[in-house]
Amino acid sequence: MVIFYGRYSIRTKTYTHQELNLPAEYSHLKFQLYQNFFFLFFIPVFPITKFWKVKNNTTDKEVGTDAQLRTLLNKAEARIKTPYWAYTGFIILMIPVLLLIGLLVTNMTKEVSRSVGRGFESVEKRKENDKLNEETVALIKSAANKDIYHIKMIEMIPKINVAGRREGFKRGERAELTYTLSSSSEDSVVLQLSKHDYHWDKVALKKEVTVAKQDLINIAGSYKTLYLYERIKINDQLIKAEAVFAIDRIESVDPY
């Protein structure tokens, strides 16, 4: 039967009385230090305890020890370091653990770096969007004839429950619309639909619409409701869709 784990003893070193700083009365003896180990697959994993064997130099027979000698040996033992190879198995067992920890730390470091990078990108993108929004708001306030408004649209399709009643909305088709500013006043503008890629029948886009400047400012940064369309009814209570809009960009055309 093969034993894969357990404990055993091994002699680490033989000392003379001089090496242990013992009195001359022990010069006829040699002192063998043994180390107990826990082993796994015959590889020492970690040391357990130490013990001494005292032998006669001439006969090589083990001799007994008295209390005084045991005390001296215990003091000497305390000064002797355990050899590093006693931890061979422990080191071998720890290698995959350390590799795994290293891999986890590396992955965490990369993830933190990516998160920080995404954070910086998000901040920079937010700054860029804020700048674009400021420019868009400025163009809306100083509206000039023939300015071109590029506006994005998303259908909002009503959700109908089993009772035939509306319960919220779901997103439908997307479209890009182009309007040309035909006239403006202090508070509003008149937009004419010049181009679009909306080819469905959920809403009816208005060819010309008067819009308050504040309403346009509201959709400069995010999608919001703006009635650039007419609802198409299914019946007296239900419509096919609503729509939300956001300004993508405004092209300012020099009138001169």
Report d(CA 241, CA 91) in Å as an integer: 69
Range of weakest confidence among 49-53, 162-166, 224-228: 162-166
Which residue type occupies 170? K
Residue 244 pLDDT grade (very low, low, confident, very high; cuts 50, 70, 90): very high
Mean pLDDT of 1-5: 61
Question: In the prediction, which pLDDT does 102 show?
Answer: 85
Query: Which of 132, 141, 146 minimizes the C-alpha distance to 217?
Result: 141
Q: Write the DSSP string, 155-219.
A: EEEEEE-TTS-EEEEEEEEEEEEEEEEEEE-SSEEEEEEEEE----SSEEE-SEEEEEHHHHHHT
Question: In the prediction, which pLDDT does 98 show?
Answer: 83
Residue 215 pLDDT grade (very low, low, confident, very high; cuts 50, 70, 90): very high
Yes or no: say if 210 and 188 are a contact pair by the CB < 8 Å rule. Answer: yes
State pTM to two decimals.
0.52
Mean pLDDT of 165-183: 90
Q: What is the average pLDDT score of the chain?
A: 85
CA distances from 67 to 29, 71, 77, 173, 190 (A): 16, 6, 15, 96, 111
* Strand duo 166-184 + 148-160: pairing: antiparallel
| Res. 176: pLDDT tops 70 | yes
| Res. 148: pLDDT tops 90 | yes
| Res. 165: pLDDT tops 80 | no
